[in-house]
Amino acid sequence: MSRKRILDLIFVVLFLLVLMPSLSSAAATTGLVPIVPCGNDGQTPCSVCDLAQLAQNILNDGIYIAVFLSAVLFAWAGVKLLTSVSNSGERTRAKEIFTNVAIGLVIILASWLVVDTVMRTLVGASFGPWNSIC
Q: Give the list of residues 6+ apart from residue 25 with CB closer than 8 angstroms, or none.
A: 34
pLDDT at 75: 93
Of the candidates 72, 77, 57, 65, the one whose C-alpha atom is nearest the C-alpha of residue 109 is: 65
Residue 132 lies in a domain: yes
Q: Residue range 81-98: average pLDDT?
A: 90
Determine the Cα–Cα distance for residues 119 and 125; give it in Å rounded to an integer.
8
Flag whether the pTM goes above 0.85: no
Mean pLDDT computed over 5-34: 66
The answer to whether residue 21 scores a pLDDT higher than 90 is no
What confidence category does residue 95 fall into, taking pLDDT thresholds of 50, 70 and 90?
very high
Instruction: Measure the N-to-C terminal CA separation of the chain; round to a whole number of Å.
Output: 56
Domain ranges, residue 116: 49-134
Does residue 96 lie in a domain region?
A: yes
Is residue 5 one of the residues assigned to a domain? no
Structural domains in the chain (count) = 1
Residue 60 lies in a domain: yes
To 5 degrees, how large is the angle CA 133–CA 40–CA 129?
Answer: 20
More confident residue, 37 or 26: 37
